Amino acid sequence: MTLPGGVHAETYQQDRALIRTRWQWLWFAGFVAVLLLLPFIGIGKAVGIATVVGITLIAVLGLQLTSGCAGQINMGQSAFMGVGAYATGALAANLHWSFLLTIPIGGISAAVFGAVFGLAALRIKGFYLALTTIAAQFIFTFAMLKLPKEWFGQSEGLRLDPAALGSFAFDTDNRIYYLVLAAAALMTYGAWGLMRSRTGRAFIAVRDNDNAAEVIGINVFYYKTLAFFIGAFYAGIAGALWAYYVRYVQADQFTLWLSVWYLGMLIVGGMGSILGAIIGTVVIRLLQELITVVGPQVADVLPALGGQFVFAAMNMLLGGLIIVFVIFEPRGLVHRWNIVKESYRIWPFPH
C-alpha cells in the first residue's frame, strides 16, 4: 500500500497515524459534519435509514472480526444480536435499569453466548463450524420462546421504555440517531484499532494458516474463542441499540436470514477489511431501501408479479450479488476502491 505523495513517517506517532494529510483531515471533518448535521439536512427517511445502517454496521463489524479477520465462519450473528437485545430488553423492561448499564450488559451476554458456541471452533473447522452456528440460531429462537414469561415475554416479546438520562429521553428519531451514531463511531474506531493491534494480527495469522500460527507461538484456541467473543459482543451491542430503537424485542426479529444478509454485506464489501464492512453495509442497505421504494411501483406496472415482489426481488438481489461477488470479485468492493486509490496515488506511473 503506497502512502499519499510526500508523506514520510519520521516518528512512530506519524507512522501509526490513521489520518496523515491535511486533505484527509478536511475530508474527515466534512464527513463527520455531514453525519452530525444529518437530522437537519436529511430529507424524508434519511435519519431512519441512517439509524438502521448504524445498528447494522455494528453487527457487521463484529461479523467481520469473527469471519473476515479470524476466518471462523459464523452464521449465527443475528442470534447473538438477539441475545444482546433480549438481555437489554429484560433488564430495561423488568428492572428499569439505565441504558448506560443495559447496553454493555447486552453486549457481554451476547459475547458469552457467542463464545460458548465458538468453543466448538476448538474442535471443528470450516463448514462444520458454520453448522454449529446455524444450530445456535435455532436453539436461540426455541429458548427465547420457551423461557419463563416473566423473563423474556415468550411469544409476546418485550416492550421497552425509551433510553433516558435523567429527564432527557432518547424518544425521537433524531435523538436515537445520535445515540446510535456515537455507538457506531466508537465501535468502528475500536474495530479499526483492534485490527492494527497484536490481537488483530493474531486473528489474521489464525485465519491464513492456523497450524503455522500455532507454531509461531500464537495461542490458537484462545484467539478463536476471543474472535467469537468480540464478534458476538459487537452483535450484542447492535441488538441492544435495536431494542432501544424499536422498543420492542421479539424472537422473530432475529432470523437465520438476517445472519445471511450480514454475511452477504461482508462479501459485497470485502472480507477482512473494516472499510469493507462499512462499504458493504451501506451499499446493501441502500439497495434494500431502493427496492422497497421502487418495488411496489414495479409491482403496480406489472401486477402479474404479485404483492410479494419486493420480498422476492430482495432475495434475488442478495443471492445474485453473493454469487456474482464470490465468483468474480471475492475480495469485494473495497478491493476495487483500493485499486482506484492506488492508481491515483502513483499516477502517472502504472505501478
Site for other proteins, rule CB under 8 A = 67, 71, 73, 75, 120, 122-128, 130-132, 134-135, 138-139, 141-142, 145-146, 210-211, 214, 220, 257, 260, 263-264, 267, 271, 305-306, 308-309, 311-323, 326-327, 330
CB of 287 to other proteins, least distance (A): 14
CB of 153 to other proteins, least distance (A): 15
The C-alpha atoms of residue 244 and residue 89 are separated, in whole angstroms, by: 8
CB of 135 to other proteins, least distance (A): 4
Count of CA atoms in the C-beta half-sphere (13 A) of 110: 36
Complete DSSP assignment for 252-289 = GGS-HHHHHHHHHHHHHH-TT-HHHHHHHHHHHHHHHH
Residue 251 CB neighbours (<10 A):
21
**Shorter beta-carbon distance to other proteins: residue 243 or 267:** 267
Going through 92-139 in order, the beta strands assigned E by DSSP cover: none
The C-alpha atoms of residue 3 and residue 346 are separated, in whole angstroms, by: 9
**Shorter beta-carbon distance to other proteins: residue 75 or 163:** 75
Q: Nearest 5°: phi and psi at 165?
A: -115, 105
- What are 39's three cell numbers? 437530522
The C-alpha atoms of residue 245 and residue 306 are separated, in whole angstroms, by: 31
**Shorter beta-carbon distance to other proteins: residue 140 or 233:** 140
Q: Nearest 5°: phi and psi at 92?
A: -75, -40
**Shorter beta-carbon distance to other proteins: residue 243 or 299:** 299
CB of 117 to other proteins, least distance (A): 8
CB of 152 to other proteins, least distance (A): 14
CB of 194 to other proteins, least distance (A): 21
**Shorter beta-carbon distance to other proteins: residue 54 or 270:** 270
H or E segment at 130? helix 126-146
The C-alpha atoms of residue 8 and residue 22 are separated, in whole angstroms, by: 14
**Shorter beta-carbon distance to other proteins: residue 115 or 271:** 271
The C-alpha atoms of residue 285 and residue 261 are separated, in whole angstroms, by: 10
Burial label, 306 (beta-carbon count in 10 A; 0-12, 13-18, 19+): exposed
CB of 230 to other proteins, least distance (A): 19
**Shorter beta-carbon distance to other proteins: residue 159 or 331:** 331
